[in-house]
Amino acid sequence: MTADAPSALTGLKPLSRLDHPREMIRQFTPNWFAATMGTGILALALPQVPNIGPALKPIGEVLWFFNIALFILFAGLYGARWAMFGHEARRIFGHNTVSMFIGTIPMGLATIINGCLAFGIARFGNGIVPVAHVLWWIDVAMSLACGVLIPYLMFTRHEHSLDGMTAVWLLPVVAAEVAGASGGLLAPHLTDPHAQIVTLATSYVLWAYSVPVAFGILAILILRMALHKLPHESMAASSWLALGPIGTGALGMLVLGADAPAILAAHGLVGVGTVAQGIGVVAGLCLWGFGLWWLALATLITIRYWRAGVPFNLGWWGYTFPLGVYTVATFRLGTTLNLGFFGIVGTVLTVALAAMWLLVGAKTLAGAWRGNLFVSPCIATPN
């Protein structure tokens, strides 16, 4: 027992698995921003639960503030890595997998921007809307950049194979449609009609910039799984990532379609706005049905993985955001169509999302405390 005491005490020390505390900075990767995506989408989903949403809104607001703190912390750590270990940090662009997670940065920021509208207006007043608008344009720029530059690196620098493909290929591409859906939520809060239509038009472009490419990747992913079966257990959560572009695509069509009549009518395009609204409802409903198929498939795949035992890694945050955005799209369909069925389904999905967030959050906190989650594969694999 005496011999075990030092090891037990070591386990209580923060970052005990690292050679030096600065390794937390040296080994920090964008994967961590997936935690801001999962936390942010749970915060946004809670107030939308039918009947009890107002009671859950304070919890959502706390999560939103917590998410802002997380994002600032992660941005600081990642910025410090580039400042202190820039020669190693730039290796991310040559890594087949880690480079994909650059897309989590703008997507994490998008949840904070949406929180400005869901919680910030009530807390701080309409003065927060211009702040959200500026942040949204920053998010748009980052989404456009990673949506084309990372695929460019895939085509020119990375080494990929069909049997090694996973749904993480979606991450840099999907950021643009997340920004597009966020623009749909932002546009009605802007007071300038010109700013409204610019935001609306940009959001439609972002949706088109992302969704067709994402669905092309999904088609290849289905072929890959049919030919080569499931990916390695370390990528178990990646089966849920495909639900992200489907849910976000549905949500984007719904919110943009809802914005279109009033915004376009102010610019003499009443007929176009009415058509856009109808297309939004039909497209949202169809994409939700596609998402239902993938939700069922991902659930079966997850059960198979978990029965065999799956080691924890930061990829587990992939269980949260895709489920969360599909949940929010479900709630939006319920309010758009005035059908209680979607409210019930959304509530069940919110419970599952909250449970998964608690599980993954607890494991992440424990791993961060020990330091074993701070691992940068791009350092171990020279480029």
Q: Render pLDDT for 188-228 as a digit per residue (tens, 0 to 9).
A: 999 999 999 999 999 999 999 999 999 999 999 999 999 99
What pTM does this model have?
Answer: 0.94
**What average pLDDT does this structure show over 172-180?**
98
Amino acid at 88: E
Average pLDDT value for the chain = 94
Contact 37, 104 (CB under 8 A): yes
Pairwise CA distance, residues 204 & 48, whole Å: 24
3-state secondary structure (DSSP) of residue 3: coil
pLDDT at position 11 is: 54
| pLDDT-based confidence at residue 237 (cuts at 50, 70, 90) | confident
Does the pLDDT value for residue 187 go beyond 70? yes
Q: Mean per-residue pLDDT for 230-259? A: 93
pLDDT value, residue 52: 97
Separation CA 79–CA 75 (nearest Å): 6
Per-residue CA distances from 250 to 104, 280, 308, 327, 342 (Å): 20, 8, 33, 11, 14
Lowest mean pLDDT among 13-17, 25-29, 63-67, 246-250: 13-17
CATH of domain 19-359: 1.50.10.150
